[in-house]
Amino acid sequence: MLDIDKELSEAIRYFWTVRNAQKEHQGSKTGVKDAGNRSAVTGGKHADGFVKLLGKIVQEAGIPQAKVFIDNKRSLPCYFRPSKEWDIIVKADDDLIAVIEVKSHVGSFGNNFNNRVEEALGSATDFWTAYREATFKPSARPWLGYLIMLEDHPKSTRPSKPKKLPHYPMREEFQGVSYARRYEIFCERLVRERLYDAACFLMSGASGGLQGKYSEPNKELGFRNLAISLSARAKAFAEI
């Protein structure tokens, strides 16, 4: 049996260790470094700990490792574009079982929040439209999951200034709230609007993260809930 808390803590530690190493080593051969945090982002692989943990959960549920694609063959056809590469695809023969997107947001909070929202909404809309149009037939309705980790930083947790929009008022729940609270609202609504079957919202700071420390601001969006939902889907398929 997996120790979920221990494994998740290790994935957090891995994220920050790899990210810091990429930031330090990027440009060591060419002498050219990306601006700001871009060197750590463009290096990739820092989220591999989360991806592999989710893969383990599927395998523990009884799905063979060969059916869990986390290193290659992760592209699926779309409806509004030719294809999209996901972080995890679980497939058995012609049956698409589960698909998962894993994201992180470190620094540049004002610039990247809307990008993350638009990505997640667009990907889900494209995915479910493709499913509706029988792109994944003969599969039953697949399970779609979303995980995002936000940097726990004063700039991500402090309240924003109230903002007046030019034409219509901003919705009250977004007025004066932090980026962390915005992500919490966003992930809640992804699930309640049934765009994703489960969503996980984690926070971790750069220093504490190296020791595997993290927080879950909303238990409904905790990793355990996502893991239970994913495992249940995989077990049901494995038993049949």
Within a domain: 23: no
Q: What is the 3-state secondary structure (H, E, C) of the chain?
A: CCCHHHHHHHHHHHHHHHHHHHHHHCCCCCCCCCCCCHHHHHCCCCCHHHHHHHHHHHHHCCCCHHHEECCCCCEEECCCCCEEECCEEEEECCEEEEEEEEEEECCCHHHHHHHHHHHHHHHHHHHHHHHHCCCCCCCCCCEEEEEEEEECCHHHHCCCCCCCCCCCCCCHHHCCCCHHHHHHHHHHHHHHCCCCCEEEEEEECHHHHCCCCCECCCHHHCHHHHHHHHHHHHHHHHHC
Report pLDDT for 27. Answer: 52
Report pLDDT for 107. Answer: 87
Total number of domains constituting the chain: 1
Query: In angstroms, what CA-CA distances link 58 with 181, 203, 210, 225?
Result: 30, 24, 26, 14
174-195: burial string, b at 16+ Cβ within 10 Å, e else: eeebbbbbbbbebbeebbeeeb
Diameter of the chain measured on Cα atoms? 56
Within a domain: 171: yes
Which one, of 28, 73, 29, 23, lies nearest residue 43 by Cα? 23
Report pLDDT for 180. Answer: 96
Q: Which domain holds residue 115?
A: 48-239
pTM for the predicted model, two decimal places: 0.89
Within a domain: 10: no
Within a domain: 37: no
Within a domain: 18: no
Within a domain: 110: yes
Report pLDDT for 20. Answer: 84
Report pLDDT for 25. Answer: 64
Within a domain: 2: no
pLDDT tens by residue, the chain, 240 residues: 789 999 999 999 999 999 888 777 665 454 545 444 443 343 358 889 999 999 999 999 998 877 999 988 899 999 999 999 999 999 988 899 999 999 999 988 888 999 999 999 999 999 999 999 999 999 999 999 999 999 999 999 999 888 899 999 999 999 999 999 999 999 999 999 999 999 999 999 999 999 999 999 999 999 999 999 999 999 998 888
